[in-house]
Structure 1
Amino acid sequence: MNPSLEQLKALLAAAETGSFSAAARKLGKSQSVVSTAIANLEIDLGLALFDRSARYPVLTEAGTRIHQEASILLAQSERLQAIAGELAAGIESRLTLAIDD
């Protein structure tokens, strides 16, 4: 049970766009890739993340909670990549001091 970043990106895109096909367009993937990623994520987590009974999928209560955590995780992943890029480019961390009388 180790969700991949790609699965989490598919979850966020589907939740934000309101459909798996729109999520696929946003991610530049096929609809079947997004559907499979979300289905596998649901299997891995043992949770139904979307209610598919209506025309468009809607996050379940569990899906809403996982969506929140996935957002945080992906933001941290982007931050990690940015820091790694800065370090690889030789950019040092910045320290700012403010002194007040």
Structure 2
Amino acid sequence: CAAAGIKVPIVPGILPVTNFAQVRKFSAMCGASVPDWMGRLFEGLDEDAETRRMVAVVVAAEQVRLLQANGVDEFHFYTLNRPDLVYAIAHILGVRPVKETPAPA
């Protein structure tokens, strides 16, 4: 970004995709494209919501890993009222809640 003259932070948004048909439709309305590989991951899962959620978590975690490998260290997660997906993504990435240690008696 700095090489392009951008002087403000850019924080990528990560959206776990659980409904690929909806994303494809929305993307078409916006004139955006969705990678073919992503469509193939969701083939045959229209009636399998649990597997779609698992795929969404793995794909989003991999996106974050690739971005981290390229120097990105801040992310915005779109939860869309599904904090469980973001919690699972964070878990895969090694981000865990801090365990509180009981105070000595």
Pairwise same-fold verdict (TM > 0.5): no
Larger Rg: 1
| Bigger helix share | 1
Give the TM bin, normalised by the shorter chain. 0.3 to 0.5
Give the TM-score of the pair, scaled to structure 1: 0.37
Give the TM-score of the pair, scaled to structure 2: 0.36
